[in-house]
Structure 1
Amino acid sequence: MSLGVSPRQPDLFATTTSFCESRIAADSIYGLLHRECFELFPDEMFADLFTKVGRRSVPPMIVAVVMVLQRLEGCSDREAVDRFAYDLRWKYAAGGLDFDYPGFVHTVLVDMRARLAASEKPDRVFEVTLAAAKQAGLVGRRRVLDSTALFDAVATMDTVTLIRSAIRGVLAAADPSLEAGLRAVLTRDDEYRSAGKPVCDWDDRSAREELVDALARDARALLAVLDGLELEPVLEKAGELLATVVGQDLETDQDGRFRIARKVAKDRVISTVDPDARHGHKTAARGFDGYKGHVAIDPDSEVIVATHVSAGNVGDASAVADLLAQDLPAETAETAETAETAETAETAETAETAETAETAETAETAETAETAETAETAETAETAETAETAETAETAEMVEPLTVYGDSAYGTGAVLDTLEQAGVQTFCKTQPPRAPGGRFPKTVFQVDLDAGTVTCPADHTVVLRKLKSGQVARFGKFCAGCPLAAQCTASRKGRSIHLGHHEHQLAAARAQQTDPAWRADYRQTRPKVERKIAHLMRRKHGGRRARVRGSTKVAADFSLLAAAVNLARLSVLGLDRQPGGWILSTT
């Protein structure tokens, strides 16, 4: 399919422009797209998605406008093409098309998403909106981070349905000859062709146990046949999924029978239809199934500058590297990505290197930066006076330090350490330590990291001992006869104080957030991201509820939603295109 071309000269007497121009506000997203759609989404921007010969596609600019409005208004694909056909605002937004401009089938949107996903720049629509905001001076050096739950588009399966569905997936992925061999080892009276739960007397406990055992044995028999074979990628993936669901939910009893384990496996798969979805918790009392959508916004303009999607059971701090990838040096971003799982001296050394890279943007070390600066000066000036002028100009162009805001989910020691090493000013809330039963928290103990000691409220001092997870101070020998023991611990072994690898950063952060100025800045700035998330989630379909399956597709859809919300914000701010680039018409 070759690239279609959007019409630029509509019929003067049939165009929607004359009808809509006086009825649609200029600062609405329809007005912005009408004026600037050819600049924002020119057909040439999507040329790499099509071949040079073949039938003409629906003009990509028109499809891009429909996709943006679809995400903003929470429409399905069929609803979106109906809107384009009968809602004059949509044709007006696509450059003022004629009243009778032909529509297209909903599969065009499916095809465009598939082409974008397979391309080298799958998020180009979001990137265009962000580039326009940056050129208009709307993106500064402050970022607010937060996440929200994205409900999956499938039903969560129980253990029986999971295993049976995974068996069906293996059989469906096998070629006819291998499928015959696989079916030969099955023992249950089940063809595994129809979806759903198998027939069983669910009120009979022994019948349920026999069903689980039989399903498990069929699954293990299939895996035994596949073991050692060279498999096609689709079949290999189906086999891995079957092994995962069997291993996560089942255990054997004393008689060797398989039964459902009375536990929840870590990183448990909850659906074979969407294996990337997970159980998640936004709070201790409120859970969900699906994904987390992470955003970083500029708090001054409320423009979304980065998005990321993770599984629902992943902590918010794990997305920091992706959200700040454009703002931090590559070395620092890599450190932030690994700091949550590898809090080692090597990580700290990498972070220290990243700090040097932040200080000298054109070099990895200060020495290299000085050499580069000298070389640049030598090329542009022959006298000391010119060299001094060039140095002054370079100093004036130094990037303003980055400031990051986040709630307590981002106030982990690893994140604080990485951002500190990169020279980032951090406004991430750090929770104070607490002890159960209202007993003495860690803060009442005097910790001396330099001396490697900890002193308890009863004035007993012990030496810190190293652990893989950090350090520990054990007061067991002093707790037996201590008059404050009841207020300190209920353990028979006495009180223990555990310190992580980044205890210094956590203590400094807790001390910093007691400053009234710090707290006032945090309270004034961080809540702005909550309003932006409300804009993203205001439509249930395609907002809070994902429209697609799989982390890759969900991430692309979330990025497109962010692009639509950005354009709605830019229209209110007065984005305008001039010969020199994007500006704000109100300035």
Structure 2
Amino acid sequence: MSLHARKIDEVPEETARVARAAFPKGSLAMRIRDELGELFLDADFAGLYPNRGKPAWAPGRLALVSVMQFAEGLSDRRAADAVRGRLDWKYLLGLELADPGFDHSVLTEFRDRLIAGDAGMQLLDRVLEVAVERGLLKAGGRARTDSTIVLSAARQINGLVRLGETLRAALNTVAAHEPEWLAGWVPSEWFDRYAIRFEDTRLPKGKVKQTELIEQIGADGLRLLAALHGPDAAPSLRLLPQVQTLRQMWVQQYFVDDGQVRRRDLKDRPPGAERLVTPYDTDARGSVKRGTFWDGYKVHLTETCEPDSPNLITHVATTDSTVQDVRLVGPVHAHLAKCDLLPDRHLVDAGYATAREVVTARQNHNVNLVGPILASTSWQAKDGGFSQAEFAIDWENRQVTCPNGATSSRWAEDRSQEGAAVVRARFPTAACRPCSAREQCTRSNSKWDMGRRITLRPQAEYEVIQQARAQEETQEWKEQYAHRAGVEGTISQGVRAFGLRRCRYHGLAKARLQHQLTATAMNFHRLNAWWTDTPRARTRVSRLAALRPTGRCAS
């Protein structure tokens, strides 16, 4: 396929006449065309196509079809049917009424090109760019971010089934590529053991029997890997993705002890960020959040939240499920800065708001990152002792003074276990030993070292923590932060109306593109609601909460 960029044309006259007759009040697709014009140009996708070959269907139109497909929750086949048969889609795409459209497989190929060129975010950015030109979006103001879990498209399986399915998947892949070689090598009992899904078989009940089966699967997997590396097997077989997955899974799960295959203890297996959870989606990872366990990914949505303009999603990011929220703050701000859409205030929850990120956002982007800073976890803060906040810090003279007037004897810059810069201050034993309030300050029992030790963040971060914890108690801060709650409605809309929480495809790259298309589709609907003066949904209030007297708050 090669790209032959077409000229920008108006909607054909006959198509416009019939579509307006059929939709006198308009539709989502028609308003997108009327308000935003020809949104995507073929030239924008020139880098995704070679210079020679059969002319491809216009990528600008395919981009619109891909977004509308997610806007209406259509499969590839139904989206292709909509291009052929729906008047409002022909109006959106600027097609003649008799245009036959394309085969549905073209959409799969186009998505593959978007993934290969990392061009999915380009669609969302283009919509935002046009919204800025139309005065519907501008930099500054408020923005808010939140994340939600995303389930892998692969079925969730337990440890025993996971091992059996990994070997079964490798056998099926080898059978598809070299059936004659496998038929001549495979042991006869393997047909009964690996012919059908493991969850469809009668698995042993007892722990001893299950351990025996796990070790049997491990021995069989090593036997297959050895055969694939033998002189009789084609070298290409050992490079098959499912065979590589088998090898990786076996390294993570098994070891050989005196010739016997054993399963590794949980503490000897790789951490969750590296551990495979299914052979059918090797990018998915297992995670847990507030008692919810899932295998898959996380998606982060950032949107504007101003009363005089539509709330538009300005950034979407997809990671594996083990990535902490705080690691997304920097990339979000960097992307918004590139698009000239940085907010003045960025409202986030405690997972994103750390002292380091607050300081970095101010210094690098002049953004006020607003979110609750986690309270101190020291025993002094919990038990009413002398917490770190009660010590006076003299940064210029590199000295700490305790509530009883003693001063530190040592000040050293160091690194924490995570590699973050810290300051470690220590008080002399001579000052702490005779102190009447020592039990409120330190629990050290060594007669040689009874002085209080304090670990401080760098000055800028320390001051941010103290300031933030004081502000969180004020009514002004609570009213400002209350606007963050609206992003929960965005997550709910994405989950309920657009399938945000369940992957359509396997792999992180495809999940990322799915969410980029979903975010763009959600913006289509939000723009349409703005143009049609559709009021925003209000927060639901239970009948009991509605009876609360004015001015009284829940305790």
AA aligned to 1:266 is: G
Partner of 1:335: none
Q: Tell me, in whole angstroms, the C-alpha distance in 2 between the residues paired with 1:37 and 1:261.
A: 58
3-state SS in 2 of match to 1:526: helix
Alignment map for 1:508-523 (pairs within 5 Å): 508-512=464-468, 514-515=470-471, 516=474, 519-520=477-478, 522-523=480-481
Matched, 1:534 2:492: yes
Partner of 1:290: 296
Alignment map for 1:252-271 (pairs within 5 Å): 258-259=262-263, 261-262=265-266, 265-267=271-273, 268-271=275-278
Partner of 1:17: 19
2:391 to 430, 446, 455: 446
Q: Tell me, in whole angstroms, the C-alpha distance in 2 between the residues paired with 1:102 and 1:165.
A: 43
Q: Tell me, in whole angstroms, the C-alpha distance in 2 between the residues paired with 1:107 and 1:324.
A: 36
3-state SS in 2 of match to 1:429: coil
AA aligned to 1:280 is: S
Which digits, 9 at most, give the CA deviation of each residue in 1:287-323, with x for residues without a partner?
Answer: 3321111233233342222221101111011122321
The Cα of 1:456 is off from its aligned counterpart by 7.4
Name which of structure 1's ranges 561-570 and 54-63 shifts more when overlaid on structure 2: 54-63
Q: Are the aligned partners of 2:214 and 2:263 in contact in 1 as well (CA < 8 Å)?
A: yes
Query: TM-score of the superposition, structure 2-length normalised?
Result: 0.73
Partner of 1:556: 513
3-state SS in 2 of match to 1:202: coil
Q: Are the aligned partners of 2:304 and 2:313 in contact in 1 as well (CA < 8 Å)?
A: yes
AA aligned to 1:297 is: E
Unaligned runs of at least 5 residues, structure 1: 331-397, 576-587
The Cα of 1:273 is off from its aligned counterpart by 0.9
AA aligned to 2:212 is: E
Name which of structure 1's ranges 249-258 and 106-115 shifts more when overlaid on structure 2: 249-258
AA aligned to 1:570 is: L
Matched, 1:304 2:313: yes
Alignment map for 1:60-75 (pairs within 5 Å): 60-75=59-74
Change (3 A) 1:111 1:181: closer
3-state SS in 2 of match to 1:535: helix
Which digits, 9 at most, give the CA deviation of each residue in 1:524-554, with x for residues without a partner?
Answer: 543343333333333253x221111111111
Partner of 1:280: 287
3-state SS in 2 of match to 1:18: helix
Query: TM-score of the superposition, structure 1-length normalised?
Result: 0.69
Matched, 1:324 2:333: yes
Q: Tell me, in whole angstroms, the C-alpha distance in 2 between the residues paired with 1:514 and 1:444.
A: 11
Matched, 1:164 2:156: no
Alignment map for 1:231-242 (pairs within 5 Å): 235=239, 238=242, 241-242=245-246
Alignment map for 1:104-503 (pairs within 5 Å): 104-119=102-117, 121-137=119-135, 138-142=137-141, 143-168=143-168, 170=170, 189-190=189-190, 194=195, 196-197=197-198, 201-221=203-223, 235=239, 238=242, 241-250=245-254, 258-259=262-263, 261-262=265-266, 265-267=271-273, 268-281=275-288, 283-300=289-306, 301=309, 302-328=311-337, 402-422=344-364, 423-435=366-378, 438-440=382-384, 442-443=387-388, 445-446=390-391, 448=393, 450=395, 451=398, 453=400, 455=402, 466=414, 468-469=416-417, 470=422, 499=455, 501-502=457-458
Change (3 A) 1:315 1:19: same
Name which of structure 1's ranges 166-175 and 155-164 shifts more when overlaid on structure 2: 166-175
Q: Tell me, in whole angstroms, the C-alpha distance in 2 between the residues paired with 1:7 and 1:399.
A: 31
Name which of structure 1's ranges 301-310 and 45-54 shifts more when overlaid on structure 2: 45-54
3-state SS in 1 of match to 2:319: strand
Matched, 1:77 2:76: yes
Name which of structure 1's ranges 161-170 and 312-321 shifts more when overlaid on structure 2: 161-170
Partner of 1:33: 32
Q: Are the aligned partners of 2:40 and 2:60 in contact in 1 as well (CA < 8 Å)?
A: yes
3-state SS in 2 of match to 1:41: coil
3-state SS in 2 of match to 1:66: helix
The Cα of 1:147 is off from its aligned counterpart by 1.7
Q: Tell me, in whole angstroms, the C-alpha distance in 2 between the residues paired with 1:498 and 1:251.
A: 44
AA aligned to 2:370 is: F
The Cα of 1:240 is off from its aligned counterpart by 5.2
AA aligned to 1:446 is: F
Q: Tell me, in whole angstroms, the C-alpha distance in 1 between the residues paired with 2:428 and 2:213.
A: 51
Which digits, 9 at most, give the CA deviation of each residue in 1:472-496, with x for residues without a partner?
Answer: 6789989999987887789988998
The Cα of 1:64 is off from its aligned counterpart by 2.7
Name which of structure 1's ranges 106-115 and 10-19 shifts more when overlaid on structure 2: 10-19
The Cα of 1:140 is off from its aligned counterpart by 0.6
RMSD: 4.7
Q: Are the aligned partners of 2:427 and 2:452 in contact in 1 as well (CA < 8 Å)?
A: yes
Q: Tell me, in whole angstroms, the C-alpha distance in 2 between the residues paired with 1:329 and 1:3.
A: 28
AA aligned to 2:321 is: G
* Count of matched residue pairs: 501
Q: Tell me, in whole angstroms, the C-alpha distance in 2 between the residues paired with 1:212 and 1:572.
A: 55
Change (3 A) 1:499 1:260: same
The Cα of 1:203 is off from its aligned counterpart by 1.5
AA aligned to 2:210 is: R
Change (3 A) 1:223 1:400: closer
Q: Percent identity?
A: 23
The Cα of 1:152 is off from its aligned counterpart by 1.5
Name which of structure 1's ranges 458-467 and 243-252 shifts more when overlaid on structure 2: 458-467
Q: Are the aligned partners of 1:15 and 1:96 in contact in 2 as well (CA < 8 Å)?
A: no
The Cα of 1:434 is off from its aligned counterpart by 3.1
3-state SS in 2 of match to 1:558: helix
Unaligned runs of at least 5 residues, structure 2: 533-555
Matched, 1:545 2:502: yes
Q: Tell me, in whole angstroms, the C-alpha distance in 1 between the residues paired with 2:12 and 2:328.
A: 46
Q: Tell me, in whole angstroms, the C-alpha distance in 2 between the residues paired with 1:405 and 1:135.
A: 25
Q: Tell me, in whole angstroms, the C-alpha distance in 2 between the residues paired with 1:257 and 1:52.
A: 54
Which digits, 9 at most, give the CA deviation of each residue in 1:251-290, with x for residues without a partner?
Answer: 6789965136345743232111111112233x42233321
The Cα of 1:9 is off from its aligned counterpart by 5.6
The Cα of 1:557 is off from its aligned counterpart by 1.4
Partner of 1:362: none
Partner of 1:390: none
Change (3 A) 1:549 1:17: same
Q: Tell me, in whole angstroms, the C-alpha distance in 2 between the residues paired with 1:197 and 1:555.
A: 30
Change (3 A) 1:158 1:492: farther
Q: Tell me, in whole angstroms, the C-alpha distance in 1 between the residues paired with 2:264 and 2:224.
A: 19
